[in-house]
Amino acid sequence: MNSSSAVAPGGARTAAKRKATADRKATAATQTPTSTRAAGAGGSSSTMLKLYTDEAQGLRVDPLVVLFLAVGFIISVVVLHVIAKMTGKFFN
Amino acid sequence: MSGFRLLDLVKPFLPLLPEIETPIERVTFDDKVLFTVSLGFVYLLAGLPIYGLPKDFALESNPFLWLTPVFGAEPLTLLELGLLPVVTAGFVFQLLAGLKYISVNLSVRLDRELFQTAQKLLSIVLSIVYTVILLVSGYYPPLASAGAYAFVGLQVAGTGIVFTLLSEIMDKGYGFGSGALAFITLNVATSIVTDVAGLDQVLVAPDTYESRGVLVHLVRNILSSPIASLRTVCTRTHLANLPQVVLALATILVLIYFQNFRVELPIRSTQLRKIYSAYPVRLMFTGSMPILFAYTALFNIHLAGYFVAAVAPAPVATFVTDYVLYYLSPPPSLVGTLVSPIRTVVFGAFVVLSAVWFASVWSLTSGSAGKELAAEFKKQSIALNGKRDASVIKELNKVILTASVTGAALLAVISLVTEYLGGLGKGAAVVIAVGAGFVFLEDFVSEFQQGGTSQFASVLGGAQ
């Protein structure tokens, strides 16, 4: 046996196959996840659309505050309706 | 990685956009119930007429009527847009990332945050854009001044933004399941009840009032004018009619039946001998997402077309309304379905193809493809019976793709049947709501079982 062409131990025997394996490993290593759930961070599942699961930087607010502001927004429209009705009754 | 990235555009907006705090500790079952109920209550409150529109104004022909139930939208109320901006923004970004059209590395935390903020920003921008489209294209009746238009726009766009944030609360784990889907489901559930037994009188034409509920209208008028009232109840299009209600109820039953269809993959434990079990892959693997996607595409096309038809010169405008929008909308009734076969076929093909395409990519874009499932199997020392480790991914992908594509096609056909029979979007909305309802139920039950002590549980379930 010729020692100069000795094959390194382990792995595929031919250079072409070794390269293919190396390439496959390289692409697997550089591949990025296609979704937040695949990255292990929650998010949309197969049957459910979820947009917000991480805490991003931004103007941090408590959920209850948002809830009350939302109700406030709607109530303000209710109040407008009521005022319109009243003024319509009294001034027309 | 160098060069320009779409996501970097979002960076300047980061400090400006409100961000709901993620719960610091596990939200208890009771808190989740409370949050979900109060969010639902806020949603129902928002079904309030827009302030500033003329009083006895009824849309004679609303071009979006058949699209609104799918998105929990209510014409001429604050919920004019419903959840459309949220859903569109989510689909756009998650599909772009899943198909690798934008460069984002979701395993990096900062990228994930940017990605999420981008969805929120798009949702807010879309709320404003859609509102402007409606205002510019003459959807609303002529108002007194520019200020009045601006005020109407402020209410519609503002509600869109509010619901972006409210669905964020739900998504972040304060409630059950997904925010957008929960609101849509709630809308469908309440609208079915009001369609059957709504007591209120609605102005449908000058000086003509009709009861909202089909049964109520029938009962109220059956003695005075039996034939006329039956006729109205079966044929009216401005409010829900009897065939629509029956169809919706039948669709629910059919969907519940199909929900149980599944392929059971034989699995075994790699740790213990002779422990065999089955891993179910549902026929509705992607749930109702494909239909939601198809209708999201349709609504966006119709809004864009409506805008073009209003501002473009006459030949383009007529082309858009007479061809593009006409063929991409369902026939209004069974008669229409039979009389205009090209429209029937084109609309059907669009819904089926977009649903199937979506189903074929969604398992990849939602992290539920064979690769992720195989990793999960490995973590739990599960192996597919008779399959080598290397071929598990391939085998799972094969089953998942077949299931999701078949399931999507089946759902598309079911919703098309209801559309062809004159469902006006109610059938499709029911399809989406039932799918979402099952997800919601699963989340609810799993939370309930691992939720620790719960006041609600002890009240509802007696002594436990």
Tell me the backbone φ, ψ of residue B361, rounded to 5 degrees. -105, -15
Look up residue B283 and give its two tokens.
């026929």
Walk me through the domains of chain B, giving residue ranges and CATH numbers: 1-204 (1.10.3370.10), 242-454 (1.10.3370.10)
Look up residue A90 and give its two tokens.
């009294």
Residue A3 scores a pLDDT above 60 = no
Of A41, A58, A84, which has the smallest distance from its Cβ to B112's Cβ? A41
In a domain, A73, yes or no: yes
Give the residue from B230, B226, B183, B233 showing the smallest Cα distance to B68.
B183
Instruction: Decide: helix, strand or coil at residue A57.
Output: coil
Where residue B134 falls (left for φ over 0; alpha for ψ -120 to 50; beta otherwise) is alpha
Please give the angle made by the CA atoms of B329, B331 and B332, to the nearest 5 degrees. Answer: 110
In a domain, A3, yes or no: no
CB contacts, 8 Å: A59 with chain B: 15-19
Q: Would you call B177 and A48 a contact, using CB atoms and an 8 Å cutoff? A: yes
SS3 content of chain A, % helix, strand, coil (to 5): 50, 5, 40
Query: In whole angstroms, what is the distance from residue B242 CA to residue B391 CA?
Result: 52
pLDDT, position A5: 54
H or E, element range at A69: helix A63-91
Q: In residues, how long is chain B?
A: 464
Q: Would you call A61 and B368 a contact, using CB atoms and an 8 Å cutoff? A: no
- Residue-wise pLDDT for A46-71, tens only, equals 888 888 888 888 889 999 999 999 99
pLDDT, position B270: 84
pLDDT, position A1: 47
Q: Residue B369: which residues within 8 A CB-CB, separation 6 or more? A: A38, B363, B396, B397, B400
Min Cα separation A8/chain B (Å) = 25
Query: In whole angstroms, what is the distance from residue A49 CA to residue B78 CA?
Result: 23
* B251 in contact with chain A, both atoms CB, cutoff 8 A: no
In a domain, A40, yes or no: yes
pLDDT, position B463: 47
Q: B333 vs B234, B338, B424, B426, CA distance in Å?
A: 11, 9, 8, 13
Strands B201-205 and B208-211 come out as: antiparallel
For residue A57, what is the nearest residue in chain B, using CA coordinates?
Answer: B14
Cβ(B274)–Cβ(B100) below 8 Å = no
Look up residue B286 and give its two tokens.
């992607």
Query: In whole angstroms, what is the distance from residue B135 CA to residue B131 CA?
Result: 6
* B112 in contact with chain A, both atoms CB, cutoff 8 A: yes
Q: Would you call A44 and B439 a contact, using CB atoms and an 8 Å cutoff? A: no
pLDDT, position B384: 86
Residue A4 scores a pLDDT above 70 = no
Look up residue B301 and give its two tokens.
């096309």
In a domain, A39, yes or no: yes
pTM: 0.90
In a domain, A5, yes or no: no
Total count of domains within chain A: 1
Give the residue from A80, A67, A5, A9 showing the smallest Cα distance to B169.
A67
| DSSP-assigned beta bridge partners for residue A11 | none
Neighbouring C-alpha atoms within 13 Å toward the C-beta of B245: 23
3-state SS string for chain B = CCCCCHHHHHHHHCCCCEEECCCCCCCCHHHHHHHHHHHHHHHHHCCCECCCCCCCCCCCCCCCCCCHHHHCCCCCEHHHCCCHHHHHHHHHHHHHHHCCCCCCCCCCHHHHHHHHHHHHHHHHHHHHHHHHHHHHCCCCCCCCCHHHHHHHHHHHHHHHHHHHHHHHHHHHHHCCCCHHHHHHHHHHHHHHHHHHHCCCEEEEECCEEEECCHHHHHHHHCCCCHHHHHHHHHHCCCCCCHHHHHHHHHHHHHHHHHHCCEEEEEEEECCCCCCEEEEEEECCCCCCHHHHHHHHHHHHHHHHHHHHHHHCCHHHHHHHHHHHHHHCCCCCCHHHHHHCHHHHHHHHHHHHHHHHHHHHHHHHHCCCCHHHHHHHHHHCCEEECCCCHHHHHHHHHHHHHHHHHHHHHHHHHHHHHHHHCCCCCHHHHHHHHHHHHHHHHHHHHHHHHHCCCCHHHHHHCCCC
Give the residue from A33, A45, A34 showing the smallest Cα distance to B282.
A45
pLDDT, position B56: 65
CB contacts, 8 Å: A41 with chain B: 106, 112
Interface of A with B (CB under 8 A): 32-41, 43-63, 66-67, 69-71, 73-74, 77-78, 80-81, 84
Min Cα separation B188/chain A (Å) = 17
Q: Would you call A54 and B22 a contact, using CB atoms and an 8 Å cutoff? A: yes
For residue A54, what is the nearest residue in chain B, using CA coordinates?
Answer: B113
- One pLDDT digit (tens) per residue for chain B, 464 residues: 456 788 888 888 888 899 999 888 888 888 899 999 999 999 999 988 898 888 766 666 788 888 999 999 988 899 999 999 999 999 999 999 888 888 888 888 888 889 999 999 999 999 999 999 999 988 888 888 888 899 999 999 999 999 999 999 999 989 888 889 999 999 999 989 988 888 888 777 777 788 888 888 888 888 888 888 888 888 887 778 888 888 889 999 999 999 889 889 888 888 888 888 888 888 888 989 999 999 999 999 999 999 999 888 888 888 888 888 888 988 887 888 888 899 999 999 999 999 999 999 998 888 788 888 888 888 888 888 888 877 888 888 899 999 999 999 999 999 999 988 888 888 899 999 999 999 899 888 888 887 666 777 777 665 44
Query: In whole angstroms, what is the distance from residue B221 CA to residue B212 CA?
Result: 13
Q: Would you call B16 and A46 a contact, using CB atoms and an 8 Å cutoff? A: no
In a domain, A4, yes or no: no
CB contacts, 8 Å: A60 with chain B: 19, 21
Domain residues for the domain of A27 are 12-91
CB contacts, 8 Å: A70 with chain B: 42, 162, 165-166
pLDDT, position B449: 82
- Lookup result for tokens 């609360």: B169
In a domain, A2, yes or no: no
Interface predicted TM-score (ipTM) of this complex, two decimals: 0.84
CB contacts, 8 Å: B369 with chain A: 38
Of A35, A52, A81, which has the smallest distance from its Cβ to B51's Cβ? A81
Of B38, B99, B368, which has the smallest distance from its Cβ to A67's Cβ? B38
A8 pLDDT tier (thresholds 50, 70, 90): low
Where residue B208 falls (left for φ over 0; alpha for ψ -120 to 50; beta otherwise) is beta
Query: In whole angstroms, what is the distance from residue A47 CA to residue B198 CA?
Result: 31
Kindly report the average pLDDT of chain A as a whole number: 81
Query: In whole angstroms, what is the distance from residue B226 CA to residue B68 CA?
Result: 31
Query: In whole angstroms, what is the distance from residue B277 CA to residue B261 CA?
Result: 18
